[in-house]
Structure 1
Amino acid sequence: MNLNQLDLLRILQETDFNLSKAAEKMHVVQSAVSRQLQLLEAELGSPLFERHGKRLLGLTPLGERVMQEVEQIHQAKKNIQSMADDFRANRNGTLHIATTHTQAKYLLPVPVQKFRQQYPGIKIYMVQSSPDNLIDLLHRHQADIAICTEKLADDDRLVLRPCYEWHHVVIVPKNHRLTSGLLTLQRLAEEPILTYSPGFTGRTAIEKAFNDAELQPDIILAAADSDVIKTYVRLGLGVGIIAETSYEPSKDNDLIALDLRRLIPASVTKIAYLKQLYLPSYCRYFIDKLLEQAQLKNHQSEI
């Protein structure tokens, strides 16, 4: 058994057990991949993959257990390289950030700008995706840190650091009927609502508020992007419920934002990374800048 064979197992899983794609990623011919897999299974005395002919279908129970160990070995290799880079004060490398559209647009610009000034040799790769996929990216080692509101608390393999607390607002055109009188969930439930897709940007908190009040909101449009929601509010499709940070008074002065903190529970955006991950100094610096920006947002929200 050698590290190349263990790397092969990880790459096969990443490529959905496709031998030709795994061979391409490893820069070898497919027959060499098949041979190494045969040697490893012969050494272990049991198959690691379910097969149909020559095609791999998935992992056997033993394969599942082995893959857990392989992931730890792969993480250890990455940690050792990161430690060595830190020891040499290496200022080159990559920072992979997995996040949602809302955080990428409204939270990350200032920390990214400060990071680039401090570490001009570090490349930044930002992946915008759904909260469920952000967690998967961490576990597949395709992201160093993830930043979002939903889902992260469900995974005990992650370190979670609260970033900032925020609330939703309802956005409406000027002179809309909701701008006068006391705003209630009952009045909101009577309007066509445009808000986030399930799993995005505090949608869980929105649903909880209406459920607790035994109300059924009329959500006629759901999107992952605050700007999309604002666009369709402008077209007169309904009222929008978005994150307070997504309302920009200078750009959205044709819309009015009404505070929902009395009606919808606060949401908390979190920073997450693998517990087993060694954080390079540049990654720790970026997290510090994120937290600084978050504190500023918390202060602005309180004001």
Structure 2
Amino acid sequence: MSTTATKLVEMRGLKVAFDGVQVLHGIDLDIARGEAVGLVGESGCGKSVTWLAALGLLPGKPSVGGSVKIDGQELRGAPRSALEHIRGGRVAMIFQDPSSSLNPVLKIGGQITEALAIHRGLRGEAAKKEAWRLMDMVGIPDVRRRFDLYPHEFSGGQCQRLMIAMALAGEPDLLIADEPTTALDATIQAQILDLLISLRAETGMATVFISHDLGAVSQVCDRVCVMYAGRIVEEGSVGELFANPRHPYTRGLFDAIPSIDGPRQRLIPIAGTVPDPRSLPQGCSFSPRCSRAVEACRHELPPLVSIGDGRWLACTRPVSQAPIVVETKGWIAEGAMQ
């Protein structure tokens, strides 16, 4: 959790259960103004559920507990009118599949101007000109002509750019990007990442980047939270955590990354899968897959504690401080540890 004084978001003890099955087990997380935070982990770890719960967007009737505040305003239990002001206005979210997020029977221009009308009160010619500006900002060419096109007339990468334009329509303080590059090819992924970086620099908004891609996280984020089975198990700055991952799960994620240079070697996968939330292990949830686990790990749940230098760790038998070199897209983390 961040110790920054200028907190935008404060999350404390966030818990979620579906039909009595606990899937989030008390998430504590702070986001500072202008900060970029990455959430990484395998599918089913609770990354997306954390923010859907925070914004009241979970389907059905889940049981949600804990506290989520933005600028001191409590979102948990807030009336619908207050949440509608926050969602899209203060906090915007983009998803990994833009084709399912854009309305296929409405023109793009109408979808962007609708967001402008709701969150900024712009209508008519003023809304159209602002929509053109947003489309141009995210890299859509020939905006005046394409304003009246339908989503299917754009490529996948352009649809994702349009989703980002809609998210920016409310001038949010926080942008949550939920695996926004998953369905795109490598070249378009790099363009979307560059766009997110430049938009953050231009607007000063904070960013939460949810991804499986450690290379993408290294490019976009200042701080990283590693999630496993509904809990944060390690947290730290990108430089520190990438150079010296201490949790066995985090280290396993790095060991499974193929090396671009050097001899061809077999990848080292993490055995097994994320446990079913209906039958979690009694102690550390990662213990059945962990080569360092001892008997105590199977009976005692380690708390998330500070280990200094802004690092947080939930493990009783952390990985020793060993050198690690991680090759990612245009970025190399090197650790010269003792």
Normalising by structure 2, what TM-score? 0.27
Larger radius of gyration: 1
RCO comparison, higher one (Cα < 8 Å, 6+)? 1
Normalising by structure 1, what TM-score? 0.29
Whose helix fraction is larger, Structure 1's or Structure 2's? 1
